[in-house]
Amino acid sequence: MACHGTDERPLQLYAEQRFRLEVSWDDFDTPLSNEELMANFRLVGGFIARDDGERDLLTEKPLDTRSGGLFHGGKGLHGEQDVFLSRHDVGYRLLREFSGGGIASPDCVAIEEVGQ
């Protein structure tokens, strides 16, 4: 919850077994509600670049600086490497597709949890 599950973070997201909206501790592993999903969707929109002159914080913050990303405070929590090491990472490509308004192909499935 220290990463994006507190009010102090600009990108505060709801997630199963993490930060939840009006869900009891006993039910933290239940799927996200439509309200939680929509809240995540609306918030993420503020981190997506609107034009070519802007930096896309949603995709560039978790990308390692050696691959052109921006400083990400969470890097220290990932053993001094960022969430995505390169632009070729499947999770990064999925996030980039989403950021651009696209929909990933149904056969494009990460083989491991993103950021783990």
Q: Residue 33: inside a domain, yes or no?
A: yes
In this prediction, residue 116 has a pLDDT band, given cuts at 50, 70 and 90, of very low
CA distances, 91 to each of 56, 76, 102, 111 (Å): 16, 19, 14, 10
Domain containing residue 6? 1-45
Predicted confidence (pLDDT) per residue in 51-81, tens digit: 777 788 888 888 888 898 888 776 666 566 7
Q: Is the pTM of this model over 0.85?
A: no
Q: Residue 5: inside a domain, yes or no?
A: yes
Decide: residue 95, CB within 10 A, 0-12 exposed, 13-18 middle, 19+ buried: buried
Is residue 26 domain-shared with residue 3, that is, in the same domain? yes
Predicted confidence (pLDDT) per residue in 75-90, tens digit: 666 566 778 889 988 8
Q: Residue 24: inside a domain, yes or no?
A: yes
Q: What percent of the chain has pLDDT over 90?
A: 3
Is residue 84 domain-shared with residue 106, that is, in the same domain? yes
* Helical spans, DSSP H, in 1-116: 34-45, 57-60, 90-99
Is residue 38 domain-shared with residue 77, that is, in the same domain? no
pLDDT at 16: 86
Query: What's the number of domains the chain is made of?
Result: 2
**CA 108 to CA 98: how far, in whole Å?**
13
